[in-house]
Amino acid sequence: MQRPGGSGEEWERLLRQGRDRFSNWSSHVGKVLKGAFLFGGILILLLLWLATGIYTVDPDEQALVRRFGVVTDVAGPGLHWHPPAPIAKHDTVKVTQVQRMEVGFRSQPSGVVSTNPVEALMITGDENIVDVEMVVLYRISSIRNFVLNVRDPGELDRGIGDRPDGRTLKDVAEVALRGVIGQRPIDDVLTAERGIIEQEVKESMVSLLNLYKAGILVEQVQLQTVRAPDQVQAAFDDVVSAKEDKERLDNEAQAYAADIVPRAQGNADRVLNESRAFEAQRVNEATGRAAEFLAILEEYAKAPDVTRERLYLEAMERILPDVRKFILDGESGNAPLQFLPLTGLQTEGSGQ
């Protein structure tokens, strides 16, 4: 059977050509679409990769940017971008926040505090063992030095990872603390020298961190608990109590001395002044009498009778006003008997 308008072979040839052309066209379109999808996927992946270079720095942070390991920028707060890894990377560190590190103990979020004997126990200058717990307050002063020089793994028991207070700062704190405690007797550590010890530990830590170029600034060192080990705590408490009693008695003795010594000194000064005044008075009196005697002697040598008479009259002038006198004439006879006893008269006369 033949199709109208031509032979069957012609129709078959045309149909075969149409199918071949459609197959070629669809194959070309598929290749184009596949290439477009591949390019779009690559473009999206490229954009996502570039987007990984976007980062944010908080107000209390700085970011150190490194490209192929070389520091290229220190970024401040805000939104930033750098070429993605592995071309560039950044390290973000809190530089204004004062952070806390514990030595000799650990504070848990639940509020439970546990001791760490490996860090807390140390030897004093007089070879006693003491348990010292300390807190170090610090901040990052140079992000470049901190990230490149001392950012080391932290401690597993605190879950720090690679955060700022790794072993470097902890080792510096322990070295400084043990060095200061090892130079002082236990009495200074337990009682009166805590403030001085804190200052010396801080100065030692600052010196070591500057030597290491750590980029860490120690703000404050605070001694928390300073005590003897539990095994000998009771004995140390007795010693401390005895020392406090001794200090109290010393203070009382010094207060008593401060009260009694000035008064005794004042009395001694008064007696000395009185004796000096008495001495000056007697010397002046003796000098005056000697001068008077010499003057009288000189006059006596010139006129002995007149001088003797004058001396007698002057003596009577001094004596007679204080004596009760009775004048009797020759006609009184035994009249003096009425004035006896003379002892009473002498006593009465001496009182007048």
Domain ranges (residues) in the chain: 14-51, 54-93, 98-227, 233-302, 315-351
pLDDT at 49: 83
pLDDT at 158: 45
Q: What single letter denotes the amino acid at residue 299?
A: E
Q: Measured between alpha carbons, how far is 130 from 89 in angstroms, rounded to an integer?
A: 46
Q: Is 220 left (phi over 0), alpha (psi -120 to 50) or beta?
A: beta
Contact 113, 105 (CB under 8 A): yes
**Nearest CA among 91, 94, 100 for reference residue 149:** 91
Q: What are the pLDDT tens digits along the chain (352 aa)?
A: 444 455 567 767 767 766 766 666 666 666 666 767 777 788 888 888 888 888 888 888 889 898 888 888 888 898 988 888 888 888 888 888 888 888 888 888 787 888 888 888 888 888 888 889 999 999 888 888 888 887 655 555 444 455 445 678 888 999 999 999 999 888 788 777 888 999 999 999 999 999 988 888 999 999 988 887 777 777 777 877 888 888 899 999 999 888 898 888 888 998 999 999 999 999 998 998 888 888 888 877 888 888 888 888 888 887 777 777 666 666 655 555 555 555 554 555 444 4
Strands (E), the chain: 54-57, 61-67, 70-75, 78-81, 88-94, 99-103, 105-107, 113-115, 121-123, 129-140, 216-227
Contact 77, 61 (CB under 8 A): yes
- Token reading at 45: 């992946």
Regarding pTM above 0.75, the answer is no
Contact 325, 352 (CB under 8 A): no
**Nearest CA among 150, 125, 129, 128 for reference residue 138:** 150
Beta strand 105-107 with 54-57 is unpaired
**Nearest CA among 217, 111, 228, 219 for reference residue 181:** 228
Q: Which CATH class is domain 98-227?
A: alpha beta
**What three-state secondary structure class fits 152?**
coil
